[in-house]
Structure 1
Amino acid sequence: MGIIGWIIIGGLAGWVASKIMNTDAQQGIILNIVVGIVGGLLGGWILSLLGMDMAGAGLIASFLTALLGAVLLLFVVKAVTQRA
């Protein structure tokens, strides 16, 4: 998957994660893309720790991995910013 694919999957995953975590009003399209791409890296790392290799698993698996990581990322950010 090329950079355009990463941007599209990241944007969709970041947007869905922001809807799940109820942070959509605070985020724009650029932040959704960044959250989705970072979430994909985070989700891939967490799944690799659990022994799951998601490389080459397909479009849906990539989206679900990015979604998992994006939700976790937003959860942590939301928890840290509410305490400050």
Structure 2
Amino acid sequence: MDFTSLIAQVVGGAVGGTAGGKVVKGSDLGQIGNLIAGAVGGVGGGSILGSLVGGGAAAAGGGLDIASLAGQLVGGGVGGIIVQVVVGLVVNKFLKK
């Protein structure tokens, strides 16, 4: 994984986490909490999607593959939504927010 892919995953996860916190009732962790949970989930989701699709192969050749980068961004967004919603629901359930 290169630095560009990591940044795409973090950005996608942060956007996904923010959206997930606002869309799913009872999962909001606040702005910073949504961003952090989404970014962490984005790295995981982008890595999983990248390994399933084989996104690292083109980047290893030295070129910038836009499709691979978009895949990392989308994978990060999906992972960010999932992790933020799960963490938000669990935390809010235990804190009775």
TM range (shorter): 0.5 to 0.7
- Which one scores higher on RCO, CA 8 angstroms, separation ≥ 6? 2
* 1:46-65 to 2 correspondences below 5 Å: 46-47=48-49, 51-55=52-56, 56=65, 57-58=68-69, 60-65=70-75
Moved >4 Å (runs of 4+): 2-8
Name the CA distance, whole Å, in 1 between partners of 2:12 and 2:46. 14
Instruction: Report how many residues are paired.
Output: 80
Please say which structure displays the higher CA radius of gyration. Answer: 2
Alignment root-mean-square deviation, CA: 3.3
Closer, same or farther: CA 78–37 of 1 in aligned 2, 3 Å: closer
**5+ long unaligned stretches in structure 1:** none
Closer, same or farther: CA 66–20 of 1 in aligned 2, 3 Å: farther
